[in-house]
Amino acid sequence: WARKIQLNTAVETVREIAKRPHRPAMVRVSIRSDGSVESMSFDVSSGVPEVDEAIRRIVESQRPYPVFPPALARDYDVIEIRRTWHFDDAVRLQ
């Protein structure tokens, strides 16, 4: 998931976000076994509404996410991913 976000986010988008003073946002995304997004929320906002909205757009623009492998789908209907988002010359999720 993180690799898809990091590799497929437009450089122009990242540069625009990086220019705005903000703190790293902690984002929680719940992905269903079919690759759809169940929910997205901010545990920690970037402090800049436009940056938070850009993060939402990035998550939405990468849909659909890969379908869970059969072994994972047998055990889980939804997985929750929490990552801290950093923007400089690329988006970096930790």
pLDDT digits (tens, 9 = 90+) for 13-71: 999 999 999 999 999 999 999 999 999 999 999 999 999 999 999 999 999 999 999 99
Question: What average pLDDT is seen over the chain?
Answer: 94
Is the pTM here over 0.85, yes or no? Answer: yes
Quick one: pLDDT at residue 81?
97
Whether 90 has a pLDDT exceeding 90, the answer reads no
Bridge partners, 54 (sequence order): none
Name residues whose C-beta falls within 8 Å of residue 34's C-beta, 6 or more positions apart in sequence. 64, 67, 68
At 78 the three-state DSSP class reads strand
Could you give the CA distance from residue 55 to residue 85 in angstroms, rounded to a whole number?
8
Quick one: pLDDT at residue 89?
83
